[in-house]
Homo-oligomer: A and B are copies of this chain.
């Protein structure tokens, strides 16, 4: 059997050819394949169009060792992947009775009183010679087809179904067939700087890294509220050491703004610091509307350090629910440093929180004034012994302002917990 070193990824679905939808599965698939040393030579997206997919598959198969298809495995007439693969590989479709039985059992287990729609049996049609890959999270099974020394892999489109299925393969059958040295990556996340600032600081390091044996490749990526430095190399025996050295050098150059070197998000970093210190956090949210607490509680185990938060959109509620003095709001305005501090102190007084956070601002699109334009957000973080407060000015639309405010609030808590500025 031929070893697999080059792959192509094909996403199937007409919605992926509209102006509003994007294929994201291919990023996850690429990550997993690269981890086995398999290069992705090309990606493609086609609609729910059997002939188009047959043509693309035929043109692709000749140039790679592995084709990963995602989507088009549902029960409807639109779902053409099984049929297109059967045609392109000249392997007739036949119903796999075990899949049909499994589908019926699954349907019954979900408590529907009506019988399974006959349409769903389409999902049991399998090209000759295909091996079924179990899908524990959905009805569409995956398929693995060995074809002329190449592999064609069919996976369902929903990411929550595709991800565990591909992971099982990259831990098993695909790992056995993969050749080449894995691409190893590290990620440094940076808060509080813009892309060109990070770029400037790292400029001299880029050249050093590129000249090393093995070379370390660096890419800077600006994401909302965070700059990401992606480092990669692919020499198996020394990759981890080379990358660890480069990460250390980057962090030394960037300083306290580099908040994560292991893929953890800011809410995870803050959560881990709270656990380490045995502290609990409470958030008084105005313009962020609950987003910060939602992000904190996205982290499994966050009930160890999140007890309660209060969202107060009106001035009245800031007074009633957080005890912010009405004259403080009248004197300084709801979007002001004294009010943010009073909100942070207020949640600490009302919930069992050691760290209190107060966020008040103007998310837009309306509500701005010449002195306090849209995007103005005041953030405070307080404990019994320390108080930090800062006025930010964020750019972008409402969602971006909310996200950046949350990012800056979490970063303020991180620095406070680390005793850094």
Please give the residue numbers on chain A whose beta carbons come within 8 Å of chain B beta carbons, in ascending order: 13-22, 24, 27-28, 30-31, 34, 40-49, 52, 55-56, 59, 63, 74-78, 117, 119-120, 137, 139, 158, 160, 185, 195-197, 199-200, 203, 206, 219-222, 228, 230, 285, 288-294, 296-298, 300-303, 306-314, 316-317, 320-321, 350-352, 363-366, 395-400, 402
Contacts and interface: CB of A to CB of B under 8 A. Distances in A.
A390 to B, nearest CB: 14
Contact of A52 (B41, B230, B395, B398): B41
Given A45-B42, A303-B314, A350-B321, A20 B221 contact: yes
A42 B31 contact: no
Given A42-B56, A289-B298, A310-B310, 12 more contacts: A16-B43, A18-B219, A41-B47, A74-B196, A160-B400, A290-B292, A293-B311, A301-B366, A308-B321, A309-B310, A309-B311, A320-B351
Contact of A74 (B22, B44, B195): B195
A89 to B, nearest CB: 18
12 contacts: A14-B219, A15-B221, A15-B230, A17-B30, A21-B221, A75-B199, A78-B220, A119-B199, A160-B396, A310-B310, A316-B352, A317-B352
A43 B17 contact: yes
Contacts of A34: 18-19
Among A13, A34, A219: residue with most chain B CB under 10 A: A219
A317 B353 CA distance: 11
Contacts of A52: 41-42, 63
A160 B397 contact: yes
A42 B44 contact: yes
A28 B19 contact: yes
A2 to B, nearest CB: 19
Contacts of A365: 300
A84 to B, nearest CB: 13
A7 B153 CA distance: 27
A44 B43 contact: yes
A361 to B, nearest CB: 12
Contact of A290 (B195, B197, B311, B395): B311
A295 to B, nearest CB: 8
Contacts of A46: 41-42
Nearest to A198: B76
Contacts of A19: 27-28, 30-31, 34, 185
Contacts of A285: 290
Nearest to A232: B18
A228 B314 contact: no
Nearest 8 Cβ contacts at the A-B interface: A289-B297, A290-B290, A19-B31, A290-B293, A308-B317, A290-B294, A309-B311, A291-B294
Contacts of A158: 222
A310 B321 contact: yes
A197 B110 CA distance: 13
